[in-house]
């Protein structure tokens, strides 16, 4: 019987004739019972844990402050829109109305006015009232007969007048103030 011929083992595979080799670098030893390559876990120091908590608290406070500031800007733009519509109410006849501030039901704030079918201003009168106050007309898509827009502190404000035509009584007016989703966090 001839002795077995040793086989050559590839230098890229960590095995020898008797099995897998440890990946431990030369000159390092591991405690008995510890698998090679696994390091002992260190507990964080109280100072390190305190620093991590402090950084986390700063991030949370910064996020809260940023969302609070964004919400304050959103509410300021909405209040400017509400004030404009209330001034219009004093000059023109309205029937029903509703107001939904930002973050209550949706991100944006919305103000609606409904006009009676028999009395009230014509849609053209409403447009004529708003244009001198800084509102600009845009292209309206039916059933909107007039769309007006304006910017307040970087927020887009729009007013849509619904109805048949500018020479008829409008059915309703919808004023909307854009707002940010970040401002609605935590509200």
In contact, 55 and 75? CB cutoff 8 Å: no
In a domain, 86, yes or no: yes
In a domain? residue 91: yes
Residue 42 belongs to a domain: no
Q: What total number of domains does the chain contain?
A: 1
Run means of pLDDT, 10 residues per run, the chain, 187 residues: 64 58 54 54 80 85 74 82 83 68 77 78 88 91 91 87 89 85 67
Which range of residues forms the domain containing residue 92?
65-182
Q: Give the residue carrying structure tokens 């990946």.
A: 23
Residue 60 counted as domain residue: no
159 within a domain of the structure (yes/no): yes
- Say if residues 41 and 35 touch (Cβ distance below 8 Å): no
Domain presence at residue 124: yes
Both structure tokens of 146? 């007039």
Look at residue 131 in the predicted model and tell me its pLDDT.
92
Model pLDDT, residue 111? 86
Q: Is the dihedral of CA 98, 82, 181, 146 positive or negative?
A: positive
């Amino acid at each position: 019987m001839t002795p077995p011929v040793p086989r050559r083992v590839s230098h890229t595979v960590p095995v020898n004739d008797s099995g897998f080799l440890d990946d431990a670098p030369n000159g390092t030893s591991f405690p008995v019972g510890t698998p090679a390559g696994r390091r002992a876990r260190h507990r964080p120091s109280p100072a390190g844990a305190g620093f991590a908590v402090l950084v986390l608290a700063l991030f949370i406070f910064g996020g809260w402050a940023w969302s609070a500031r964004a919400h304050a800007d959103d509410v300021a733009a909405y209040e400017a829109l509400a004030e404009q519509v209330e001034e219009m109410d004093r000059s023109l006849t309205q029937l029903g109305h509703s107001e939904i501030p930002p973050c209550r039901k949706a991100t944006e704030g919305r103000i609606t006015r409904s006009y009676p079918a028999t009395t009230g201003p014509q849609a053209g009168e409403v447009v004529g009232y708003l244009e001198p106050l800084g509102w600009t007309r845009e292209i309206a898509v039916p059933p909107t007969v007039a769309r007006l827009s304006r910017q307040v502190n970087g927020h887009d404000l729009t007013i849509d007048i619904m109805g048949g035509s500018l020479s008829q009584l409008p059915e309703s007016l919808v004023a909307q103030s854009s707002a940010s989703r970040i401002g609605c966090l935590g509200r």
